[in-house]
């Protein structure tokens, strides 16, 4: 190999190396850019559509649960306490699918990505760690748990002067509408619930009402429905007449 040929080979090699480096950093930048895409944060997230989020996060709806638990239990044989409600249908499914695409969720709710995801900081997931982090972040949470409480709180028996629903439901035929056909009738006028469909379903199946008001209670407290006026999240989602 003469000198000029060697020179050409070295130059070509360097060019190739440059190309590889440029390409990989471009990819790395793409990932970073995607992670920090302003659509994740306020104000953009407030107007984002599900389609925009799913363009990058389709796995949220595609992911399937394991057929067997790591300990070997068949998921088809497992039944959690909250899955004994009359409204529970179908195979075990993921959290996101149960809120967005399960048959029952589509009947009674119209949750969107940004109903729950209101913007969080993936850098440290904590508020007030520096001057520039958002001040109202919920510690180590991507979603404010108060949102969950609205549909997963304890039965508000105290407000109704009733014992726990499981103790009195037989007395009322498991039918909340015995009283609520006339009490607090103006309900569910928010853009993430199908108010009319809920009433229709509640007439057919007693567990519909209880389901969101004690039947899937992840919390030992009730959501304070009486203070709904002060809940910014509920107020933001009020349906405009």
Which positions from 168 through 187 interact with ligand HEC, judged by CB under 6 A?
172, 176-180, 183-184, 187
Pick the stretch among 7-15, 16-24, 30-38, 71-79 that binds ligand HEC (CB under 6 A): 30-38
Q: Which residues contact 146 (CB under 8 A, 6 or more apart)?
A: 223, 231, 233
User: Which position among 148, 191, 205, 233 is part of the footprint of ligand HEC (CB under 6 A)?
Assistant: 148
Pick the stretch among 12-20, 69-77, 110-118, 127-135 that binds ligand HEC (CB under 6 A): 110-118
Site for ligand HEC in 69-108 (CB under 6 A): 82-83, 87-88, 95-96, 98-100, 102, 104-105, 108
Q: Would you say 18 or 226 has its CB closer to ligand HEC?
A: 226
Q: Collapsing DSSP states into helix, strand and coil, what is residue 152? A: helix
Pick the stretch among 9-17, 20-28, 68-76, 217-225 that binds ligand HEC (CB under 6 A): 217-225
Angle at 189 between CA 166 and CA 172, to 5 degrees: 25
Pick the stretch among 2-10, 15-23, 37-45, 128-136 that binds ligand HEC (CB under 6 A): 37-45
User: Which position among 48, 86, 205, 233 is part of the footprint of ligand HEC (CB under 6 A)?
Assistant: 48
Q: Would you say 52 or 133 has its CB closer to ligand HEC?
A: 52
* Residue appearing with tokens 């695409």: 101
- Cα separation of 111 and 84, whole Å? 23
Q: Would you say 127 or 172 has its CB closer to ligand HEC?
A: 172
Is the separation of the CB atoms in 64 and 94 below 8 Å? Answer: yes
Q: How far is CA 28 from the centre of its chain?
A: 28
225-233, long-range: CB < 8 A, 24+ apart: 225/156, 225/159, 226/159, 231/146, 233/118, 233/144, 233/146, 233/147
Binding-site size, ligand HEC (CB under 6 A): 81
Nearest-CA neighbor of 216 among 47, 27, 77, 80? 80
């Amino acid at each position: 190999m003469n000198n000029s040929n060697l020179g050409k080979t070295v130059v070509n090699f360097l060019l190739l190396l440059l190309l590889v480096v440029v390409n990989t950093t471009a990819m790395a930048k793409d990932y970073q850019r995607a992670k920090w895409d302003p659509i994740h944060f306020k104000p953009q997230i407030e107007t984002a559509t599900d389609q925009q989020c799913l363009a990058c996060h389709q796995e949220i709806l595609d992911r399937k649960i394991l057929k067997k638990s790591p300990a070997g239990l068949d998921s088809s044989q497992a039944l959690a306490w909250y899955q004994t409600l009359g409204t529970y249908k179908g195979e075990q499914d993921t959290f996101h699918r149960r809120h967005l695409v399960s048959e029952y969720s589509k009947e009674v709710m119209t949750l969107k990505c940004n109903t729950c995801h209101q913007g969080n900081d993936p850098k440290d997931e904590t508020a007030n760690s520096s001057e520039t982090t958002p001040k109202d972040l919920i510690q180590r949470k991507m979603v404010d748990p108060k949102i969950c409480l609205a549909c997963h709180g304890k039965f508000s028996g105290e407000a109704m002067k009733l014992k726990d629903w499981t103790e009195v439901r037989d007395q009322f035929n498991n039918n909340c509408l015995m009283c609520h056909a006339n009490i607090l009738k103006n309900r569910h006028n928010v853009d993430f619930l199908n108010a009319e469909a809920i009433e229709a379903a509640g007439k057919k199946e007693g567990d519909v009402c209880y389901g969101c008001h004690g039947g899937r209670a992840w919390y030992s407290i009730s959501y304070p429905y009486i203070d709904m006026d002060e809940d910014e999240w509920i107020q933001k989602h009020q349906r405009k007449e």
